[in-house]
Structure 1
């Protein structure tokens, strides 16, 4: 069964996840290590636990989630998986150098998640769910047997991702949450791109954006923009 480890990196406090099973094969999700020290932290964790990375997998292409991807690709010789709709965002990463991100080479995308429903990791399978809104090509990663969901910047504990960046859409984001995430089940644990973990049950009860949508207080489908 899939296990998960969290390493928090870079000036934005981004959660990088390592998913692995009994085979010791692992996926590195949203590699956000942006300095030599952070990269060594990632290497040390991989080596200490005897893991073999097989894929660099991203929920989306914003700079704080991709600044370690090229390092990961070269270090372990693994492919990079990203939805093609986020390629234009990926290519703007150098614009954020003045915010403390050492990008270097923009990583080439090897696996298009627009055409990929599943990613094998050892004996396990990660399910890719299309969830646009925070960005056009945003996806979430579901491990059903472990009842865990990596939500990237779509959904946080008691909050949602911002939609005022290029390609963002509040109606699309809320539709992704209501129609695709909530049906995964109340016991599903969510692990977001920033901040602490939660569960779908907790978010249905205490996330104000979800509560108002489910009660019908806000017709999110009719909203043009939303900022958080």
Structure 2
């Protein structure tokens, strides 16, 4: 599976265009905003986007989803329904964080642990990783050994847990019991900042390094 990271919004959120090399079918992961930039990249790459994927409902990840879906006439596929209150509060989120007014929307489909999503002939496995939000999900492509982890894990850090319905212990549990079993060689694209590997974070991350749990 191929990918192109497009930082969007003033929060520099890592939106990703991901695609199957054989079919050129694509998905957009977490289009938080700046949809003109996303569309320009899709056109440049010669791709056909047939779905939008959301890891969770925070505005910097989901704020551009409805506009992009309307432009492309594609479905929005989101994390489990327990996160829907974030999407219902997009107007308030946009006010609180200084974004242009963003209307609430309802996804076409919700995902659960163990579901799979097809992108052309590639498959993404869905892992439920609560903590940052109650229904945050991670997408993992085994053939390329890459995970899109949203705001669960970052290079040298982890997701915030000071939001409504966040839970620090749940987040640590998600990382150590859902992500680490995928293998140390997995590369991951976080919601913000540079890529890393699970091996690097298990050795050096001050929140979830292996030695903290010995």
Q: TM-score band (shorter)?
A: over 0.9
Farther-moved stretch of structure 1 (73-82 vs 108-117): 108-117
Say whether the 8 Å CA contact 2:20–2:26 is kept in structure 1. yes
Partner Cα separation in structure 1 for residue 161 and residue 113 of structure 2: 24
Query: Which of 27, 52, 58 is matched with 2:48 structurally?
Result: 52
Partner Cα separation in structure 1 for residue 101 and residue 199 of structure 2: 37
> How many angstroms does 1:32 deviate by?
1.1
Write the mapping of 1:27-38 to structure 2, written as runs, cut at 5 A: 27-33=27-33, 38=34
Partner Cα separation in structure 2 for residue 177 and residue 138 of structure 1: 12
Partner Cα separation in structure 2 for residue 96 and residue 103 of structure 1: 9
**Aligned residue for 1:25?**
25
Aligned residues, how many? 211
> How many angstroms does 1:105 deviate by?
2.9
**Aligned residue for 2:138?**
140
Partner Cα separation in structure 1 for residue 41 and residue 57 of structure 2: 24
Partner Cα separation in structure 2 for residue 3 and residue 87 of structure 1: 29
Describe the superposition over 1:128-161 as per-residue Cα deviations: whole angstroms up to 9, x where unpaired.
1000000001000000110100110000001000
Write the mapping of 1:187-206 to structure 2, written as runs, cut at 5 A: 187-206=185-204
Calculate the TM-score normalised by the size of structure 1.
Answer: 0.88
Say whether the 8 Å CA contact 1:67–1:103 is kept in structure 2. no
**Aligned residue for 1:223?**
none
Find the residue that maps to 1:27 and give its secondary structure: strand
Farther-moved stretch of structure 1 (87-96 vs 124-133): 87-96
Query: Which of 24, 35, 41 is matched with 1:39 structurally?
Result: 35
**Aligned residue for 1:8?**
7
> How many angstroms does 1:216 deviate by?
3.2
Write the mapping of 1:50-199 to structure 2, written as runs, cut at 5 A: 50-82=46-78, 83-98=80-95, 99-114=97-112, 117-199=115-197
Describe the superposition over 1:170-225 as per-residue Cα deviations: whole angstroms up to 9, x where unpaired.
111000000010111111001000000000000001101112x64337xxxxxxxx
Partner Cα separation in structure 1 for residue 106 and residue 81 of structure 2: 11
Can you give the 5+ residue segments of structure 2 that lack an aligned partner in the other structure?
none
Say whether the 8 Å CA contact 1:11–1:100 is kept in structure 2. no
Can you give the 5+ residue segments of structure 1 that lack an aligned partner in the other structure?
218-228
> How many angstroms does 1:115 deviate by?
6.8
Partner Cα separation in structure 2 for residue 31 and residue 145 of structure 1: 24
